């Protein structure tokens, strides 16, 4: 019990220190990519095929596991020409933040890049998101607000559920809701490659959060 109390005292101290370090007396959230991102992502390449776009999302998910920076999920957002806009990797444990899934991270970074709260603004080209695994309830909802016009998924919900990751209330009607609003959605694209990263994470004994 004493150890538990000490732990919470330590956590509180660290949180207080971080708050002080920003010069603010209220919470501040900063989100950055892990250090390895520039060695895995070729920002200047044109990703002309769906295969190359999905492979990038999968490469990001794999690097996240290999470097120990988060769960086995990655995403990437492109203009429809194949120009890369942003990637995202699961960062839940790294930041103690349940919102930081691969897809939400990619959406936040993409909107930062284009300077718009929607990727579907009149002055912007169409954007599409490739995700290494079918989105959870949160990410599917966020996809609607993000303004992406196409979503391509690698591994299936069942593949993640097998690792005991909770995907939340996603139903066939949920996908239909987005499709009815003009968003194209494709499933099981390079599914085996994407699933391989989930299996690698399981073999490494990776942490299952929000189970
Ligand atoms: Zn999610």
CA-based torsion, 84, 80, 60, 145: positive or negative? positive
Q: What's the rounded Cα separation, in Å, for the pair 60 and 153? A: 14
| Residues in the chain, overall count | 211
Cα 164 to ligand 1 centre (Å): 14
> Would 211 be classed as within a structural domain?
no
CATH number at residue 85: 3.40.140.10
Predicted pLDDT at 165: 86
Predicted pLDDT at 7: 54
User: Do 97 and 150 sit in the same domain of this protein?
Assistant: yes
User: Do 148 and 101 sit in the same domain of this protein?
Assistant: yes
> Would 181 be classed as within a structural domain?
yes
> Would 208 be classed as within a structural domain?
no
User: Do 75 and 102 sit in the same domain of this protein?
Assistant: yes
Predicted pLDDT at 6: 57
Cα 163 to ligand 1 centre (Å): 15
Please confirm, yes or no, whether 103 is among the known catalytic residues. yes
Full residue range of the structural domain in which residue 12 is found: 1-30
User: Do 25 and 55 sit in the same domain of this protein?
Assistant: no
Cα 204 to ligand 1 centre (Å): 21
Cα 101 to ligand 1 centre (Å): 5
Predicted pLDDT at 69: 97
User: Do 37 and 24 sit in the same domain of this protein?
Assistant: no
Q: What's the rounded Cα separation, in Å, for the pair 165 and 102? A: 14
User: Do 127 and 116 sit in the same domain of this protein?
Assistant: yes
Cα 103 to ligand 1 centre (Å): 6
User: Do 51 and 132 sit in the same domain of this protein?
Assistant: yes
User: Do 145 and 194 sit in the same domain of this protein?
Assistant: yes
User: Do 101 and 176 sit in the same domain of this protein?
Assistant: yes
User: Do 159 and 192 sit in the same domain of this protein?
Assistant: yes
Cα 154 to ligand 1 centre (Å): 14
> Would 210 be classed as within a structural domain?
no
Q: From the candidates 79, 103, 128, 134, which is the catalytic residue? A: 103
Low-confidence ranges of the chain (pLDDT < 70): 1-22, 210-211
User: Do 75 and 95 sit in the same domain of this protein?
Assistant: yes
CA-based torsion, 26, 114, 131, 127: positive or negative? positive
- Residue 160's Cβ-side half-sphere holds a number of Cα atoms within 13 Å equal to 25
Q: What domain count does the chain have?
A: 2
User: Do 86 and 174 sit in the same domain of this protein?
Assistant: yes
Predicted pLDDT at 22: 63
> Would 61 be classed as within a structural domain?
yes
């Amino acid at each position: 019990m004493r150890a538990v109390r000490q732990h919470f005292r330590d956590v509180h101290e660290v949180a207080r220190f971080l708050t002080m370090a920003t010069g603010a007396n209220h919470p501040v959230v900063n989100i950055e990519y892990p250090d390895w991102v520039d060695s895995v992502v070729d920002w200047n390449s044109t990703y002309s095929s769906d295969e190359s776009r999905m492979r990038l999302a999968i490469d990001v998910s794999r690097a996240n596991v290999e470097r120990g920076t988060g769960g086995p999920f990655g995403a990437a957002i492109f203009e429809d020409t194949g120009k890369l806009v942003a990637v995202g990797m699961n960062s839940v444990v790294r930041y103690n933040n349940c919102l930081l899934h691969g897809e939400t991270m990619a959406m936040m970074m993409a909107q930062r890049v284009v300077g718009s709260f929607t990727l579907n603004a009149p002055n912007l080209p169409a954007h599409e998101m490739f995700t290494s695994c079918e989105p959870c309830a949160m990410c599917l909802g966020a996809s609607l607000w993000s303004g992406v016009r196409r979503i391509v998924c690698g591994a299936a919900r069942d593949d993640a559920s097998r690792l005991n990751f909770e995907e939340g209330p996603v139903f066939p009607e949920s996908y239909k809701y987005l499709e009815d609003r003009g968003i194209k959605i494709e499933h099981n694209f390079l599914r085996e490659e994407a699933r391989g990263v989930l299996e690698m994470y399981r073999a490494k004994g990776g942490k299952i959060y929000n189970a």
